[in-house]
Amino acid sequence: MNFACAKRIYKNSNLFWLLLVGIILRVLVAVTRNDLVWPDEHFMTLEPASKIVFDRAYLAWEWQEGYRAWTLPLLYVPVLFICKIVGITGGLIPIYASRLFTALIAGWSLLKWDEILRLARLRPWARTLSFAGLALGGPMVVWGVTCLGDHWLMMAWMALIPAIYRLSSRSSDWDWVKVGLLAGMPILIKYQAGIFALALGLGFIFQRKTLRQLIFFSLGVLVHPVLMGLLDWMTYGQPFSSLIQQVSRGEETSRFYGVDSWYDYFPRLFNDQGVWLFGLLGILLGVCLVRWRATTRFVAIRGRFLWMVLGPALLYFLFHIRIPHKETRFLVPILPALYFLVGVGLHLTPGLVFLRRLSFKWSLPAWGRPLLVGVLGGISFFWIWNTPTYLTSVNIAPLEAQVYRLQKSSVGGSSCLLLLDHHWSWTRGRLILGGGVDVIEKHVSEISPGQDSGCFYAILPASKMSEFQARVSSGSWTFVESTPSGYVLLQKFHI
State whether 175 and 299 are in the same domain: yes
Residues 133 and 342 sit within 8 Å (Cβ to Cβ): yes
Can you give the pLDDT at residue 300? 61
CA 213/CA 197 separation, integer angstroms: 14
Q: Give the burial class of 261: count Cβ atoms within 10 A of its Cβ; 0-12 exposed, 13-18 middle, 19 or more buried.
A: exposed
Contact between 494 and 454 under an 8 Å Cβ cutoff? The reply is no
Residues 397 and 331 in one domain: no
Distance (Å, rounded) from C-alpha 218 to C-alpha 212?
10
User: How many Å apart are CA 439 and CA 77, to the nearest integer?
Assistant: 24
* Whether residue 426 is found in the same domain as residue 280: no
Tally Cβ neighbours within 10 Å of residue 454. Answer: 12
User: Is residue 71 domain-shared with residue 117, that is, in the same domain?
Assistant: yes
The per-residue pLDDT for 435 is: 84
* Alpha-carbon torsion, ordered 328, 329, 334, 335, to 10 deg: 80
Which is nearest to 155 in space by CA: 221, 104, 80, 99? 104
Q: Are 408 and 313 in a shared domain? A: no
404 and 327 share one domain = no
What pLDDT, on the 0 to 100 scale, is given for residue 5? 61
Comparing CA positions, the residue from 477, 389, 472 lying closest to residue 426 is 389
Q: Within 13 Å, how many C-alpha atoms sit on residue 274's CB side? A: 13
Number of folded domains in the chain? 2
DSSP state of 140: H
pLDDT at 150: 95
**Environment class of residue 141 by beta-carbon count within 10 Å: exposed (0-12), middle (13-18) or buried (19+)?**
buried
Q: 375, 406, 369: which is closest to 480 by C-alpha?
A: 406
CB 231 within 8 A of CB 69: yes
Mean pLDDT of residues grouped by 10 in the chain (495 residues)?
Answer: 58 80 95 86 94 92 93 96 95 96 95 92 87 93 94 95 93 95 96 95 92 96 96 94 92 88 91 88 79 60 83 95 92 94 82 56 66 88 86 89 88 78 86 88 86 84 90 80 92 71
- 419 three-state secondary structure: strand
SS3 state of residue 291: coil
Among left, alpha and beta (phi > 0; psi -120 to 50; other), residue 363 is beta
Radius of gyration (Cα) for the chain, nearest Å?
25
Residues 436 and 323 in one domain: no
| Beta carbons within 8 Å of 78's beta carbon, 6+ residues apart | none
SS3 490: strand
Nearest residue to 89 (alpha-carbon basis) of 434, 462, 413: 434
Residue at which a domain ends, from 385, 412, 437: 385
Q: Name 371's Cβ contacts closer than 8 Å, sequence gap at least 6.
A: none
pLDDT of residue 215: 96
- Domain range holding 426? 393-492
Amino acid at 44: M
Nearest partner of 217 among 236, 208, 204, 230, judged by Cα: 204
Q: What is the pLDDT of residue 473?
A: 67
Q: Which of 341, 363, 385 represents a domain boundary (last residue)?
A: 385
Does this model's pTM top 0.75?
yes
The 3-state DSSP class for residue 151 equals helix
State whether 280 and 426 are in the same domain.
no
Q: Exposure of 222 by Cβ count < 10 A (0-12 exposed, 13-18 middle, 19+ buried)?
A: middle
Examine the domain organization and report whether 172 and 210 are in the same domain.
Answer: yes
Say whether both 228 and 303 belong to one domain: yes
* CB-CB contact of 116 with 162 (8 Å): yes
C-beta neighbour count of 244 within 10 angstroms: 15
Q: Do 184 and 317 fall within a single domain?
A: yes
Rounded Cα gap, residues 22 and 134, in angstroms: 9
pLDDT of residue 495: 47
Using a 10 angstrom Cβ sphere, with 0-12 exposed, 13-18 middle and 19 or more buried, the burial of residue 380 is buried
* Domain end marker among 355, 385, 415: 385
Predicted pLDDT of residue 369: 76
Q: Tell me, what's the pLDDT at 292?
A: 64
Residues 181 and 313 in one domain: yes
How many Å apart are CA 380 and CA 274, to the nearest integer?
13
What is the distance between the alpha carbons of residues 283 and 289, in angstroms, rounded to a whole number? 10
